[in-house]
Structure 1
Amino acid sequence: MTPARTHAAGMLLIHGAWQGSWAWDAWLPELAARGWTARAVDLPGNGAHPSRDAGLVVSLQTYVDALTQALAAFEGPVVVVAHSGAGVPASQLAEALPERIACLVYVAGMMLPAGMGYAELVDASVADVPDASGIAPYLQWSEDGSATVVPVDAALDIFLHDCPPDAARRAAAKLTPQQESGRTVVTTLSAERFGRVPRIYVEALRDRSVLLPLQRRMQALVPGAIVRSIDCGHVPQLARPAELATLVCETLASIGIDSAESSASSLFHSLTTGTSP
């Protein structure tokens, strides 16, 4: 049975902890080449807008408010792509505005059930998953314990080990302090709202941060996502941007979701050539 078509207005790309909108720079051209309009957002408190964030204490609602504002730039439903820790605010955004989201795509993301923090998942896994803590043992804490930073060497080894070396070094140097209040948020989700949004989970098979066994435990805890695999580490959008773009776009197409831009182009082609779109 052919799925009903959804013409998404574009993609909203959400970065994970310690990162910024720059984390998607290598992926944006790949999406554009496949007919997708995509916008990457800077989450509050990530250091991109110091004057805006002065004195800000980040919460889950802070993130949802910023993402809601970002959605307003699109006319129509949007595919939301969340990397790593961005999976938590992305899930809560779907709970708040399910009608605005065509699909949630988690890229090695934290697709956690309501009320569960990632640290709780790690604590439940350390006994049988070696190195389940990922980056945590390497973090450097601020004096007051309110924020962490990732040392460059740890970022290169845990996050970026299979990325092009020059690109990996540039990315590691761009990482900024992360408020702990934004890293420990937990969701409040319902089957009626979050549960009605289609989901895709792209698991990273060689991830050293969100290890594969933990990715698969989240898939079991929050069932219903279409699962796809990519043979790389924690940052597929930098390690294998073309492969990730193909994987995501083809999976979206398989469930009847395409970009409004590519759909319009296909319709124009059919009207001018007399062929079916």
Structure 2
Amino acid sequence: MPAPHIVLIHGAWQGSWAFAAWQPLLEAAGWQVHAVDLPGNDRSPERAADAHLRGYTRHVRELLARLDAPAVVVGHSGGGMTASQVAEAAPGRVRALVYLAGMMLPDGASYGDVIAQCRAADPGFAYDGVDPHLQWDAARGASRVPAEAALALFLHDCEPAAARRAAARLCAQPETGRSMRNRLSAGRFGSVPRVYVECLRDRSVLLPLQRRMQALAPGARRISLDCGHVPQLACPQALTAALLPVLDDLPLAPLPRHAAAP
């Protein structure tokens, strides 16, 4: 049986490099790994005009169409919105959706809506996220995350040298690629099995926000990891060991037997 496909979608200010520490573990476990670079990000800044949910979705769909079988699609952080929209657009090409501290939002909702709901439910809920630290271009059309903010909010539990390398790689992010709302239906997006990997020590997408998203878009299998916002760098072995058995257990076509996580 051919090795199964897994497509990895990065979040804001990142690129395919965000999965470099995890990719070898997935490959050792028998997966064909496809880490994408979304248009307008990192390796393709000249494609800023395509840096929006429609452009991101088209980019990933084109990759899925080239594969010889449907794939598991993973969205990290803001990449979760693209993963959801891809499942809506091409549910037959998506075996399952996996959200790594990802934005798993219901139809028509924005991440700001989720923040507002958490504040309304708990007036003491304090959340600013990374926004106060962002550096903007002159037109306020794209932002960057300073390295010190990334180290404090995204990468605080990663190995220090690896964290510094990742912080230095963060790129400009077109605002059109952050201000997005999914358009989803029960018959298409809702037909695809989902897994939510929540990160208990996340300082960027706080746990109450992750739990609120799971409540707003119910039906995902939950995995809890004791880590910050970037499990694929902070604890890739633990992520692999926790996720692959869950994928095996989902109501999918049988997967090839995978190797034990290192």
With structure 2 as the length reference, what TM-score do the two structures score? 0.92
For residues 258 and 220 of structure 2, what CA distance do their matches in structure 1 show? Answer: 28
Residue of structure 1 aligned with 2:21, choices 20, 23, 26: 26
Residues 141-168 of structure 1: CA deviation (Å, up to 9, x unaligned):
2211111110100000000000000000
Does the 8 Å contact 2:98/2:197 carry over to 1?
Answer: yes
Instruction: State whether structure 2 residue 63 is matched by structure 1 residue 70.
Output: yes
Matched, 1:125 2:118: yes
- The answer to whether residue 193 in structure 2 is matched with residue 198 in structure 1 is yes
Which one-letter code corresponds to 2:108 in the other structure?
G
Q: Give me the whole-angstrom Cα distance separating, in 2, the residues matched to 1:218 and 1:75.
A: 32
How far residue 242 of structure 1 moved from its aligned partner, in angstroms, is: 0.7
1:169 to 160, 164, 169: 164
Deviation at 1:131, TM superposition (A): 3.8
Give unpaired runs (5+ residues) of structure 1: 1-5, 266-277
Q: Which runs of 5+ in 2 are unaligned?
A: none
In structure 1, distance between residues paired with 2:220 and 2:16: 25
Q: Which amino acid aligns with 2:202?
A: D
Output the CA distance in 1 between the equivalents of 2:258 and 2:195: 24
Q: Is the 8 A contact 1:8 1:77 kept in 2?
A: no
Aligned mate of 1:113, from 99, 103, 106: 106
Q: Distance between the aligned counterparts of 2:23 and 2:133, measured in 1?
A: 30
The number of equivalent residue pairs is 257
Partner of 1:151: 146
Q: Does 1:86 align with 2:86?
A: no
Residues 1:232 and 2:227 aligned together: yes
Superposed CA deviations along residues 32-73 of structure 1, whole A, max 9, x for unmatched, are 11111111000011031245x1x6252211011100111123
Change (3 A) 1:264 1:169: closer
Distance between the aligned counterparts of 2:258 and 2:232, measured in 1? 27
Q: Normalising by structure 1, what TM-score?
A: 0.88
* Partner residue in 2 for 1:252: 247
Q: Deviations over 1:223-256 (max 9, x none)?
A: 0000110000000000000110111101101225
CA contact (8 A) 1:8 1:79 kept: no
**Amino acid aligned to 1:195:** G
Bigger Cα Rg: 1
Q: Deviations over 1:81-101 (max 9, x none)?
A: 110001111101000000110
Partner SS, residue 163 of structure 1: coil
Counterpart of 2:88 in structure 1 is 95
Give the Cα–Cα distance (whole angstroms) in 2 for the partners of residues 217 and 14 of structure 1.
Answer: 22
CA distance in 2, matches of 1:39, 1:259: 20
CA RMSD, 1 decimal: 2.0
Q: Percent identity?
A: 52
**SS of equivalent residue, structure 1 residue 104:** strand
